[in-house]
Structure 1
Amino acid sequence: MGDGNGSGKGKSVSYAVLEDVPPTKVGEIIEGELVVSPRPASPHARAATKLGGWLDGPFDEGSNGPGGWIFLFEPELRFPALGDALVPDVTAWRRERMPRMPDVPYFSLAPDWACEVVSDVTQAWDRGPKMRVYARAGVEWLWFIDPLGEGLEIHRLQEGQWRLHGVHLGSGTVNAAPFDAVPLNMGKLWLW
Protein backbone atom coordinates (compact mmCIF):
# COMPACT_ATOMS: atom_id res chain seq x y z
CA MET A 1 0.00 0.00 0.00
CA GLY A 2 1.20 3.47 -0.80
CA ASP A 3 2.13 5.95 1.86
CA GLY A 4 2.41 9.09 -0.24
CA ASN A 5 6.19 8.88 -0.60
CA GLY A 6 6.79 6.64 -3.63
CA SER A 7 6.34 6.95 -7.36
CA GLY A 8 4.94 3.45 -7.82
CA LYS A 9 6.69 3.17 -11.21
CA GLY A 10 7.48 -0.34 -12.23
CA LYS A 11 4.74 -1.88 -10.06
CA SER A 12 1.37 -2.98 -11.31
CA VAL A 13 -1.79 -4.06 -9.55
CA SER A 14 -5.18 -5.04 -10.91
CA TYR A 15 -8.50 -3.32 -10.28
CA ALA A 16 -9.51 -6.36 -8.19
CA VAL A 17 -7.40 -5.07 -5.26
CA LEU A 18 -9.88 -2.20 -4.85
CA GLU A 19 -12.54 -4.68 -3.69
CA ASP A 20 -10.48 -5.39 -0.55
CA VAL A 21 -10.23 -1.74 0.53
CA PRO A 22 -12.43 -1.20 3.62
CA PRO A 23 -15.35 1.21 3.17
CA THR A 24 -13.80 3.49 5.80
CA LYS A 25 -10.89 4.17 3.40
CA VAL A 26 -10.42 5.48 -0.14
CA GLY A 27 -8.57 3.12 -2.47
CA GLU A 28 -6.91 4.26 -5.67
CA ILE A 29 -4.46 2.79 -8.15
CA ILE A 30 -2.00 5.52 -9.03
CA GLU A 31 0.76 4.79 -11.52
CA GLY A 32 0.53 1.08 -10.77
CA GLU A 33 0.48 1.30 -6.97
CA LEU A 34 -2.43 0.74 -4.60
CA VAL A 35 -2.82 3.86 -2.45
CA VAL A 36 -5.18 3.68 0.53
CA SER A 37 -6.10 6.92 2.29
CA PRO A 38 -8.39 7.69 5.22
CA ARG A 39 -11.80 9.19 4.53
CA PRO A 40 -11.64 13.00 4.43
CA ALA A 41 -11.45 14.95 7.70
CA SER A 42 -14.13 17.53 8.46
CA PRO A 43 -12.39 20.64 6.97
CA HIS A 44 -11.74 18.67 3.78
CA ALA A 45 -15.31 17.33 3.54
CA ARG A 46 -16.80 20.73 4.35
CA ALA A 47 -14.77 22.53 1.64
CA ALA A 48 -15.80 19.92 -0.97
CA THR A 49 -19.45 20.15 0.11
CA LYS A 50 -19.54 23.95 0.00
CA LEU A 51 -17.79 23.95 -3.39
CA GLY A 52 -20.34 21.46 -4.73
CA GLY A 53 -23.19 23.59 -3.43
CA TRP A 54 -21.83 26.65 -5.23
CA LEU A 55 -21.33 24.75 -8.51
CA ASP A 56 -24.62 22.82 -8.57
CA GLY A 57 -27.21 25.52 -9.24
CA PRO A 58 -25.52 27.73 -11.83
CA PHE A 59 -23.39 25.16 -13.62
CA ASP A 60 -25.21 21.82 -13.34
CA GLU A 61 -28.85 22.91 -13.16
CA GLY A 62 -28.43 26.19 -15.08
CA SER A 63 -30.12 28.20 -12.30
CA ASN A 64 -28.72 31.77 -12.37
CA GLY A 65 -25.82 30.52 -14.47
CA PRO A 66 -24.89 28.99 -17.80
CA GLY A 67 -25.46 25.29 -16.98
CA GLY A 68 -23.80 22.78 -19.27
CA TRP A 69 -22.01 20.59 -16.69
CA ILE A 70 -22.59 17.36 -14.73
CA PHE A 71 -20.93 17.21 -11.27
CA LEU A 72 -20.15 14.27 -9.02
CA PHE A 73 -18.56 13.86 -5.59
CA GLU A 74 -15.88 11.20 -5.29
CA PRO A 75 -16.63 9.16 -8.42
CA GLU A 76 -14.27 6.34 -9.26
CA LEU A 77 -12.43 7.04 -12.51
CA ARG A 78 -10.80 4.09 -14.24
CA PHE A 79 -8.49 4.66 -17.16
CA PRO A 80 -7.85 1.14 -18.52
CA ALA A 81 -5.30 2.29 -21.09
CA LEU A 82 -3.29 3.79 -18.23
CA GLY A 83 -4.11 1.18 -15.56
CA ASP A 84 -5.11 3.85 -13.04
CA ALA A 85 -8.16 4.20 -10.81
CA LEU A 86 -8.60 7.60 -9.16
CA VAL A 87 -11.18 9.04 -6.76
CA PRO A 88 -11.14 12.84 -7.05
CA ASP A 89 -13.04 14.87 -4.49
CA VAL A 90 -15.26 16.60 -7.06
CA THR A 91 -15.42 16.19 -10.84
CA ALA A 92 -17.37 17.58 -13.75
CA TRP A 93 -18.04 16.71 -17.35
CA ARG A 94 -19.29 19.11 -20.00
CA ARG A 95 -22.72 17.98 -21.13
CA GLU A 96 -21.65 17.93 -24.76
CA ARG A 97 -19.22 15.12 -23.81
CA MET A 98 -21.54 13.35 -21.35
CA PRO A 99 -25.13 14.43 -22.09
CA ARG A 100 -26.67 12.14 -19.47
CA MET A 101 -25.46 10.47 -16.32
CA PRO A 102 -24.77 6.80 -17.08
CA ASP A 103 -25.66 4.12 -14.56
CA VAL A 104 -22.17 2.69 -14.08
CA PRO A 105 -20.00 1.69 -11.08
CA TYR A 106 -17.07 3.76 -12.40
CA PHE A 107 -16.30 6.18 -15.21
CA SER A 108 -13.77 5.62 -17.98
CA LEU A 109 -14.53 8.91 -19.73
CA ALA A 110 -12.08 11.44 -18.28
CA PRO A 111 -13.80 14.44 -16.71
CA ASP A 112 -13.23 17.93 -18.08
CA TRP A 113 -12.54 19.26 -14.58
CA ALA A 114 -11.34 17.65 -11.36
CA CYS A 115 -10.83 19.10 -7.91
CA GLU A 116 -8.65 17.69 -5.18
CA VAL A 117 -9.07 19.03 -1.65
CA VAL A 118 -5.55 18.58 -0.32
CA SER A 119 -4.49 17.49 3.13
CA ASP A 120 -1.19 16.56 4.75
CA VAL A 121 -2.01 12.91 4.06
CA THR A 122 -2.96 13.24 0.36
CA GLN A 123 -1.00 16.25 -0.86
CA ALA A 124 2.09 14.38 -2.12
CA TRP A 125 -0.06 12.02 -4.21
CA ASP A 126 -2.48 14.73 -5.39
CA ARG A 127 0.23 17.12 -6.59
CA GLY A 128 2.53 14.44 -8.00
CA PRO A 129 1.37 11.10 -9.39
CA LYS A 130 -2.36 11.91 -9.55
CA MET A 131 -1.64 15.16 -11.36
CA ARG A 132 0.41 13.22 -13.95
CA VAL A 133 -2.40 10.69 -14.42
CA TYR A 134 -4.96 13.48 -14.92
CA ALA A 135 -2.69 14.96 -17.61
CA ARG A 136 -2.27 11.62 -19.40
CA ALA A 137 -6.05 11.06 -19.26
CA GLY A 138 -6.67 14.51 -20.81
CA VAL A 139 -8.47 16.27 -17.93
CA GLU A 140 -8.48 19.93 -19.04
CA TRP A 141 -8.82 21.70 -15.67
CA LEU A 142 -7.49 20.71 -12.26
CA TRP A 143 -8.12 22.57 -9.02
CA PHE A 144 -6.40 22.12 -5.68
CA ILE A 145 -8.24 23.46 -2.66
CA ASP A 146 -6.38 23.78 0.65
CA PRO A 147 -8.99 24.33 3.41
CA LEU A 148 -6.45 24.85 6.18
CA GLY A 149 -4.23 27.19 4.12
CA GLU A 150 -7.36 28.84 2.64
CA GLY A 151 -6.17 28.61 -0.94
CA LEU A 152 -7.35 27.71 -4.43
CA GLU A 153 -4.89 26.77 -7.15
CA ILE A 154 -6.09 26.41 -10.75
CA HIS A 155 -4.20 24.46 -13.43
CA ARG A 156 -5.05 24.06 -17.11
CA LEU A 157 -3.74 21.33 -19.38
CA GLN A 158 -2.20 22.81 -22.52
CA GLU A 159 -0.29 20.71 -25.03
CA GLY A 160 -0.06 17.87 -22.52
CA GLN A 161 1.46 20.04 -19.77
CA TRP A 162 -0.10 21.62 -16.71
CA ARG A 163 0.04 25.41 -16.73
CA LEU A 164 -0.70 27.37 -13.58
CA HIS A 165 -3.78 29.44 -14.42
CA GLY A 166 -4.28 31.16 -11.08
CA VAL A 167 -3.76 31.13 -7.32
CA HIS A 168 -6.28 32.67 -4.96
CA LEU A 169 -5.80 32.97 -1.20
CA GLY A 170 -8.02 34.05 1.65
CA SER A 171 -11.71 34.79 1.61
CA GLY A 172 -12.18 37.13 -1.31
CA THR A 173 -14.49 36.71 -4.26
CA VAL A 174 -12.89 35.31 -7.43
CA ASN A 175 -13.88 34.35 -10.93
CA ALA A 176 -12.30 30.90 -11.14
CA ALA A 177 -11.98 29.28 -14.57
CA PRO A 178 -13.63 27.31 -16.01
CA PHE A 179 -16.53 28.43 -13.79
CA ASP A 180 -15.76 32.14 -14.04
CA ALA A 181 -19.30 33.04 -15.18
CA VAL A 182 -20.37 33.14 -11.52
CA PRO A 183 -18.13 34.62 -8.78
CA LEU A 184 -16.96 32.28 -6.03
CA ASN A 185 -16.92 33.63 -2.47
CA MET A 186 -13.94 31.65 -1.23
CA GLY A 187 -14.67 32.47 2.40
CA LYS A 188 -17.62 30.06 2.26
CA LEU A 189 -15.22 27.19 1.59
CA TRP A 190 -13.37 27.80 4.85
CA LEU A 191 -16.39 28.02 7.17
CA TRP A 192 -16.07 24.89 9.22
Structure 2
Amino acid sequence: MGKLVRERGFWPAGNFHVPPVGSNPFGVQGLKTIAYELVEELGEAPDAVIVPTSRGDLIWGIWEGFRECRTRGEISHLPRMVAVEPFPRLTRVLHGEDWRGQFEGRSSLASIDGFTVTYQAVAAVTESGGTAVSVTDQEVAWAWKEAARSGLLLESSSASVLVAVLRLVNSGWLKKEESVVAIGTSHGFKERSPHERDQ
Protein backbone atom coordinates (compact mmCIF):
# COMPACT_ATOMS: atom_id res chain seq x y z
CA MET A 1 0.00 0.00 0.00
CA GLY A 2 2.84 2.38 0.84
CA LYS A 3 4.32 1.92 -2.63
CA LEU A 4 0.97 2.65 -4.30
CA VAL A 5 0.56 5.82 -2.21
CA ARG A 6 4.09 7.08 -2.90
CA GLU A 7 4.44 6.12 -6.56
CA ARG A 8 0.91 6.23 -7.95
CA GLY A 9 -0.89 8.72 -5.73
CA PHE A 10 -3.38 6.25 -4.27
CA TRP A 11 -5.47 7.45 -1.32
CA PRO A 12 -4.79 5.15 1.66
CA ALA A 13 -7.93 4.00 3.44
CA GLY A 14 -5.87 1.66 5.62
CA ASN A 15 -2.66 1.93 7.60
CA PHE A 16 0.72 1.12 6.06
CA HIS A 17 3.12 2.35 8.75
CA VAL A 18 5.12 0.28 11.24
CA PRO A 19 4.67 0.85 14.08
CA PRO A 20 1.05 1.39 13.01
CA VAL A 21 -0.72 4.65 13.73
CA GLY A 22 -4.19 3.63 12.67
CA SER A 23 -5.86 4.11 9.33
CA ASN A 24 -6.74 7.26 7.47
CA PRO A 25 -8.71 9.57 9.79
CA PHE A 26 -11.57 9.87 7.28
CA GLY A 27 -12.15 6.13 7.46
CA VAL A 28 -11.93 6.00 11.24
CA GLN A 29 -14.32 8.95 11.59
CA GLY A 30 -16.90 7.04 9.57
CA LEU A 31 -16.86 4.25 12.16
CA LYS A 32 -18.36 6.61 14.76
CA THR A 33 -21.73 6.12 13.11
CA ILE A 34 -21.91 2.63 14.63
CA ALA A 35 -22.20 4.25 18.06
CA TYR A 36 -24.79 6.70 16.76
CA GLU A 37 -26.91 3.84 15.42
CA LEU A 38 -26.62 1.87 18.66
CA VAL A 39 -27.76 4.87 20.68
CA GLU A 40 -30.66 5.44 18.30
CA GLU A 41 -31.75 1.79 18.53
CA LEU A 42 -31.20 1.30 22.27
CA GLY A 43 -32.07 4.79 23.51
CA GLU A 44 -28.95 4.67 25.70
CA ALA A 45 -25.40 3.37 25.59
CA PRO A 46 -24.94 -0.31 26.45
CA ASP A 47 -22.82 -1.20 29.46
CA ALA A 48 -20.17 -2.85 27.30
CA VAL A 49 -19.27 -3.17 23.63
CA ILE A 50 -17.25 -6.19 22.52
CA VAL A 51 -15.22 -5.62 19.33
CA PRO A 52 -13.03 -7.94 17.22
CA THR A 53 -9.77 -6.02 17.13
CA SER A 54 -6.64 -6.00 15.02
CA ARG A 55 -5.13 -2.53 14.89
CA GLY A 56 -8.03 -0.83 16.57
CA ASP A 57 -9.67 1.43 14.00
CA LEU A 58 -13.11 -0.01 14.71
CA ILE A 59 -12.93 0.03 18.51
CA TRP A 60 -11.55 3.59 18.47
CA GLY A 61 -14.17 4.85 16.04
CA ILE A 62 -17.01 3.37 18.09
CA TRP A 63 -15.54 4.80 21.30
CA GLU A 64 -15.24 8.25 19.71
CA GLY A 65 -18.86 8.04 18.60
CA PHE A 66 -20.07 7.27 22.10
CA ARG A 67 -18.01 10.12 23.54
CA GLU A 68 -19.65 12.51 21.09
CA CYS A 69 -23.10 11.20 22.06
CA ARG A 70 -22.27 11.81 25.72
CA THR A 71 -21.04 15.34 24.99
CA ARG A 72 -24.33 16.07 23.22
CA GLY A 73 -26.30 14.74 26.20
CA GLU A 74 -27.81 11.82 24.27
CA ILE A 75 -26.59 9.18 26.74
CA SER A 76 -26.07 9.16 30.49
CA HIS A 77 -22.97 6.95 30.59
CA LEU A 78 -20.20 5.60 28.39
CA PRO A 79 -19.77 1.89 27.71
CA ARG A 80 -16.71 -0.15 28.58
CA MET A 81 -14.92 -1.16 25.40
CA VAL A 82 -13.57 -4.71 25.09
CA ALA A 83 -11.03 -5.64 22.41
CA VAL A 84 -11.05 -9.28 21.31
CA GLU A 85 -7.76 -10.52 19.88
CA PRO A 86 -6.49 -13.89 18.58
CA PHE A 87 -3.47 -13.97 20.90
CA PRO A 88 -2.18 -11.58 23.58
CA ARG A 89 -1.09 -8.25 22.12
CA LEU A 90 -3.19 -5.55 23.71
CA THR A 91 -3.50 -7.82 26.74
CA ARG A 92 0.28 -7.66 27.14
CA VAL A 93 0.28 -3.87 26.70
CA LEU A 94 -2.35 -3.53 29.44
CA HIS A 95 0.04 -5.48 31.67
CA GLY A 96 2.89 -3.04 31.06
CA GLU A 97 4.56 -3.85 27.74
CA ASP A 98 5.32 -1.07 25.25
CA TRP A 99 2.51 -0.74 22.69
CA ARG A 100 5.06 0.01 19.97
CA GLY A 101 6.56 -3.49 20.17
CA GLN A 102 5.83 -6.52 18.04
CA PHE A 103 3.73 -9.34 19.46
CA GLU A 104 4.22 -12.71 17.82
CA GLY A 105 1.47 -15.28 17.66
CA ARG A 106 -0.34 -17.65 15.33
CA SER A 107 -4.00 -17.65 14.46
CA SER A 108 -6.40 -18.58 11.68
CA LEU A 109 -8.49 -15.46 12.46
CA ALA A 110 -7.23 -13.49 9.47
CA SER A 111 -9.33 -10.35 9.97
CA ILE A 112 -7.94 -9.68 13.44
CA ASP A 113 -4.51 -11.24 13.03
CA GLY A 114 -1.32 -9.20 13.07
CA PHE A 115 1.62 -8.54 15.32
CA THR A 116 1.15 -4.88 16.26
CA VAL A 117 -1.00 -2.68 18.49
CA THR A 118 -2.01 0.95 17.96
CA TYR A 119 -2.18 3.71 20.53
CA GLN A 120 -5.82 4.33 19.63
CA ALA A 121 -6.75 0.74 20.58
CA VAL A 122 -4.98 1.15 23.92
CA ALA A 123 -6.72 4.48 24.50
CA ALA A 124 -10.20 3.17 23.69
CA VAL A 125 -9.83 0.33 26.19
CA THR A 126 -8.13 2.25 28.99
CA GLU A 127 -10.21 5.44 28.73
CA SER A 128 -13.42 3.42 28.87
CA GLY A 129 -12.37 1.19 31.76
CA GLY A 130 -12.53 -1.78 29.40
CA THR A 131 -10.27 -4.74 28.82
CA ALA A 132 -8.83 -7.07 26.20
CA VAL A 133 -9.60 -10.76 25.77
CA SER A 134 -7.47 -13.14 23.73
CA VAL A 135 -9.21 -16.19 22.30
CA THR A 136 -8.05 -19.44 20.72
CA ASP A 137 -8.89 -20.88 17.33
CA GLN A 138 -10.56 -23.84 19.05
CA GLU A 139 -12.81 -21.61 21.15
CA VAL A 140 -13.79 -19.60 18.10
CA ALA A 141 -14.56 -22.73 16.07
CA TRP A 142 -17.04 -23.71 18.81
CA ALA A 143 -18.54 -20.19 18.89
CA TRP A 144 -18.85 -20.15 15.09
CA LYS A 145 -20.90 -23.36 15.19
CA GLU A 146 -23.09 -22.08 18.03
CA ALA A 147 -23.79 -18.85 16.17
CA ALA A 148 -24.59 -20.77 12.97
CA ARG A 149 -27.04 -22.99 14.88
CA SER A 150 -28.80 -19.79 15.99
CA GLY A 151 -29.03 -18.48 12.44
CA LEU A 152 -26.00 -16.17 12.47
CA LEU A 153 -23.42 -17.02 9.83
CA LEU A 154 -20.42 -15.02 10.99
CA GLU A 155 -16.84 -14.85 9.85
CA SER A 156 -14.65 -16.58 12.44
CA SER A 157 -13.09 -13.31 13.58
CA SER A 158 -16.59 -12.02 14.30
CA ALA A 159 -17.53 -15.18 16.22
CA SER A 160 -14.64 -14.43 18.57
CA VAL A 161 -16.83 -11.91 20.40
CA LEU A 162 -19.10 -14.71 21.65
CA VAL A 163 -16.15 -16.39 23.34
CA ALA A 164 -15.20 -13.11 24.99
CA VAL A 165 -18.73 -12.46 26.28
CA LEU A 166 -18.96 -15.89 27.88
CA ARG A 167 -15.53 -15.60 29.44
CA LEU A 168 -16.25 -12.13 30.85
CA VAL A 169 -19.59 -13.26 32.29
CA ASN A 170 -18.02 -16.36 33.84
CA SER A 171 -15.24 -14.29 35.41
CA GLY A 172 -17.72 -11.76 36.84
CA TRP A 173 -16.29 -8.88 34.81
CA LEU A 174 -19.67 -8.65 33.07
CA LYS A 175 -22.81 -9.00 35.16
CA LYS A 176 -25.65 -11.01 33.68
CA GLU A 177 -28.03 -8.07 34.01
CA GLU A 178 -25.76 -5.70 32.06
CA SER A 179 -26.50 -4.75 28.47
CA VAL A 180 -23.84 -5.90 26.04
CA VAL A 181 -23.39 -5.33 22.32
CA ALA A 182 -21.13 -7.78 20.49
CA ILE A 183 -20.03 -6.44 17.12
CA GLY A 184 -20.16 -8.84 14.17
CA THR A 185 -17.90 -7.35 11.53
CA SER A 186 -18.36 -9.73 8.63
CA HIS A 187 -20.46 -12.62 7.31
CA GLY A 188 -19.31 -16.20 7.06
CA PHE A 189 -19.63 -16.45 3.27
CA LYS A 190 -16.15 -14.99 2.88
CA GLU A 191 -14.48 -18.08 4.34
CA ARG A 192 -14.89 -21.79 4.76
CA SER A 193 -16.11 -22.94 8.14
CA PRO A 194 -13.51 -23.50 10.90
CA HIS A 195 -14.38 -27.22 10.75
CA GLU A 196 -13.61 -27.39 7.02
CA ARG A 197 -10.37 -25.44 7.41
CA ASP A 198 -9.07 -27.96 9.94
CA GLN A 199 -9.48 -30.92 7.56
TM-score using structure 2 length: 0.31
Q: In proportion to residue count, which structure has more strand?
A: 1
Greater helix proportion: 2
Q: Which has the larger radius of gyration?
A: 2
Q: So what's the TM-score if we normalise by structure 1?
A: 0.31
